[in-house]
A and B are shown apart, each in its own frame.
Chain A
Amino acid sequence: MISACRKIGWTIQVVIMGEALLLALVSLYALQSDARVFRYAGF
């Protein structure tokens, strides 16, 4: 049971880190490319 709990914890950690990594990469890309909806300046 102890070993199973440790594995469950590790799996949750991996999934959370994976999500965070993807989110971080997307945010970094959005910041780096200044991705935003184009506004035709002045109008």
Chain B
Amino acid sequence: MTAHLELPAPTQTTCPQGVRDAVRNDQWREAGIALWEGLTCVTLPGLLAAAAVAVAQFAILACWVTPDFVSRVDEGYLVYSPIDDFAMVTKLSLQIQRSDPDSLQVVFAGPSTTRESVLDDRRMEADLESLVGEPVRFWLAASSWQSFWETAAIVDHLPAGYRGAVLIGITPGRLSRNVDFLARLLDKPQVALDSPSFDREIKIAGLAVPRKTGIYLWDHARFFAARRAAVWRLLWGPMPYHRNRYADKPRWTEAHWQQWESKVAARWGANMEQCKDANLAVLDRILDTLDAQGIRSALVHTPMDEQRLRAVGPDWYPLYIDAVHQYAAQRGVPFWDLNEEVGVTTDDFFDWGHFRRPKTQLRYQAKLAQKVGPLIQKYARPTP
């Protein structure tokens, strides 16, 4: 394989140019062959070293992907798709946890109808500041199908000494979640949050709490593995996240309703009667947690096309309405239904509860700010 040519040193002036080139070419060829042999010859030490490299790389990743990192990373590198609310809520919750507890804050958690009820967070903050005389940080921690179990996890991320209020969006869907839904959350976690309240709810539901190692990346491996395609964004750049996604979309036609009505009714109607009390009990424990920290809370009946829902669920929609009104009265927690005050009409909705008109969203959030202002007034320290 190796041929040693006994030739004069290339520096010798007597050596012809052609011979010198031959020597050089031959050395490069031998070096190339050696490089190729090193690359392709698989040995046991090589395999062991490769395994060590893999372990080291995972260890570096585990040290790098921490809650602190996720709270700071551009969400465009985290989201699975432009509508991945779950990654966004994870990031927001971790940001809330790291926020200054001394600043006045409002967290609004809920499902997609909650998400679509607020269009402009900065305008909401300006409205609140003008009401209470102090800057207010507003966080919309809303995600599709968010259950009270996930809200409990979000609430666990309020910083110690949190000054402000927590608003919780209420919908029929939230009262009809069954234990199967929680089991699916364990199998396919929506959020990557370590939460004692969430773990407590798993135990109460009679399910096994997943073992924790204390290594964030490892404990939430399924959440991150589901988003493994995000690795390619390191090459192609971040993916924009779209929070309000029904703006100016045409309303559902009757054909759409015929297609979806039975699903809505089956999902919510079938579970409402047997699940509403258990879900309200989860909500009750969330409010207990907030009360224990001296944090004011309010329930917000998120925007809904009531006329349509009463028609879709003549048996379960009244059950839901009675249950939430009764619960709020017994608990003594504010329950705001702003539909009438805002003057929403059927035409404002994309479907049963997602606003499709930016102007309606702005009207709704302005009215919501008017309600929130007095709720957080007692925490306010007006600037002189």
Contacts and interface: CB of A to CB of B under 8 A. Distances in A.
Q: Please tell me the size bucket of the interface on A.
A: 20 to 34
Contact of A37 (B56, B187, B226): B226
Given A21-B50, A22-B54, A25-B54, A13 B39 contact: yes
Given A38-B185, A42-B267, A9 B50 contact: no
Contact of B188 (A10, A11, A38): A38
Contacts of A30: 225-226, 228
Contacts, number: 113
A9 B80 contact: no
Interface in B48-78: 49-54, 56-58
A18 B60 CA distance: 13
Q: Please tell me the size bucket of the interface on B.
A: 35 or more
Q: Is the interface of B mostly helix, strand, loop or mixed?
A: helix
Nearest to B31: A5
Contact of B31 (A1, A33, A35): A1
Contact of B190 (A10, A33, A38, A42): A38
Interface centre among B35, B36, B41, B42 (most CB of A within 10 A): B35
B322 interface: no
B35 A17 contact: no
Interface in B156-201: 181, 184-185, 187-190
A22 B39 contact: no
B57 A22 contact: yes
Given A1-B31, A7-B38, A9-B38, A35 B53 contact: no
Nearest to A33: B222
Interface of A: 1-3, 5-15, 17-22, 25-27, 29-30, 33-38, 40, 42-43
